[in-house]
Amino acid sequence: MRISVGWAAVIALGLSVAIGMSAAEETKEGAAAKADAHQYIGVDGCKLCHKTEKSGDQYGKWLASPHAKAYELLASDEAKEVAKKAGVEGDPQKADQCLQCHVTAHGVKAELLGAKYKVEDGVGCESCHGAGADYKSKKVMEDKDAAVAAGLIIPTEATCTKCHNEKNPTHKGFDYKTAVEKIAHPTPK
Ligand code: HEC
Ligand code: HEC
Ligand code: HEC
Ligand code: HEC
């Protein structure tokens, strides 16, 4: 059996040399398709490296922010009132009309949700920074351009207004400058 595996490798090598051009094209197409199809890893996958004081404890700052409680909030009496007024039947924690802004990655294909993704994270890191499976490695993270190429988003106002907009039943306006200060989690210089 060893011999046939060896031969398979030789044949595969020859084949990939012979069809070098089209293989390269295929890879390019694959990469383009993948660009908007990175997997979500959940907040714990970022916490690993972003929780020390030295790194700026982005995890701790996020945990103390309202975004971490966005899913939990949907279980409150207040949320049930909001849902009723918005004409949403049943449990807000199960309603698409609420989850679309109160959790990360609502409505994406199931295969894009990694094993550690959980709705309980509410509006997690990846709601603003993009799905992390392909940029979370140390090597990629340390190289900003590589990280962005692998799906990292450096948020702008448009990132926020996906949720902070008129479709939000409790919308009271949104001022990017003050809002971004409230959730700031910079890396110490
Ligand atoms: C293996 C460790 C590791 C993991 C896991 C990790 N990061 Fe990072 N991250 C780093 C390092 C190292 C840097 C670069 C140094 C720095 O700026 O702190 C960085 C930088 C960043 C930056 C700044 C990019 C820039 O240059 O402006 C963002 C944003 C970021 N990470 C978000 C995330 C998010 C979101 C996740 C989870 C999906 C995550 N990281 C997971 C190690 C990690
Ligand atoms: C378009 C995005 C969006 C949708 C859809 C949405 N929310 Fe929210 N929700 C937000 C944002 C952003 C906030 C926080 C800031 C604010 O209220 O302006 C918020 C805040 C809340 C609050 C806190 C009240 C407050 O005054 O801050 C409750 C309760 C709530 N939402 C319930 C719901 C329920 C229930 C649904 C479904 C019927 C829902 N939301 C749908 C974006 C949304
Ligand atoms: C996926 C949807 C979503 C995105 C994207 C999002 N938010 Fe939020 N935001 C919410 C929800 C939902 C709440 C209410 C959570 C709660 O009260 O527990 C909230 C609450 C807040 C609050 C506290 C309430 C307030 O209005 O003062 C601030 C500040 C805030 N967001 C800032 C931002 C900023 C800045 C960005 C972009 C960099 C952003 N958000 C992106 C959904 C989102
Ligand atoms: C509500 C949106 C939002 C969420 C949620 C969020 N971030 Fe950010 N993050 C931002 C914004 C806005 C910036 C500033 C971007 C800039 O430099 O212009 C930022 C910057 C960063 C930076 C770079 C800081 C610097 O000084 O360059 C890191 C690292 C980071 N975030 C990691 C995380 C991690 C890890 C989580 C989850 C634990 C997280 N973020 C959750 C919006 C968010």
Reduced to 3 states, what is the DSSP secondary structure of residue 170?
Answer: coil
- pLDDT by residue (tens digit) across 28-69? 444 444 446 899 999 999 999 999 999 999 999 999 999 999
Q: Which pair of tokens denotes residue 54?
A: 């030295």
Determine the structural domain holding residue 23 and report its residue range.
1-35
Read off the pLDDT band of 12 (50, 70, 90): very low
Q: Are 124 and 150 in contact (CB under 8 A)?
A: no
> Are 83 and 120 found together in one domain?
yes
Query: In the predicted model, is pLDDT for residue 26 greater than 60?
Result: no
- The residue-averaged pLDDT of 149-169 equals 98
pLDDT computed for residue 60 by the predictor: 98
Domain total of the chain: 2
153 close to ligand 4 (CB < 6 Angstrom): no
> Are 109 and 27 found together in one domain?
no
Residue 187 domain flag: no
108 close to ligand 3 (CB < 6 Angstrom): no
Q: Among the listed ranges 7-21, 41-55, 72-86, 170-184, which one has the minimum average pLDDT value?
A: 7-21
Ligand 4 mean position to 34 CA, how many Å? 23
> Are 22 and 55 found together in one domain?
no
> Are 67 and 10 found together in one domain?
no
Ligand 1 mean position to 50 CA, how many Å? 7
> Are 6 and 70 found together in one domain?
no
> Are 134 and 86 found together in one domain?
yes
> CA 89 → CA 71, 81, 132, 147, distances in Å?
17, 11, 33, 41
Ligand 2 mean position to 36 CA, how many Å? 26
Residue 23 domain flag: yes
73 close to ligand 2 (CB < 6 Angstrom): yes
> Are 65 and 20 found together in one domain?
no
Q: Which pair of tokens denotes residue 1?
A: 């059996």
> Are 18 and 3 found together in one domain?
yes
Helix (H) or strand (E) holding 181: helix 176-182
66 close to ligand 4 (CB < 6 Angstrom): no
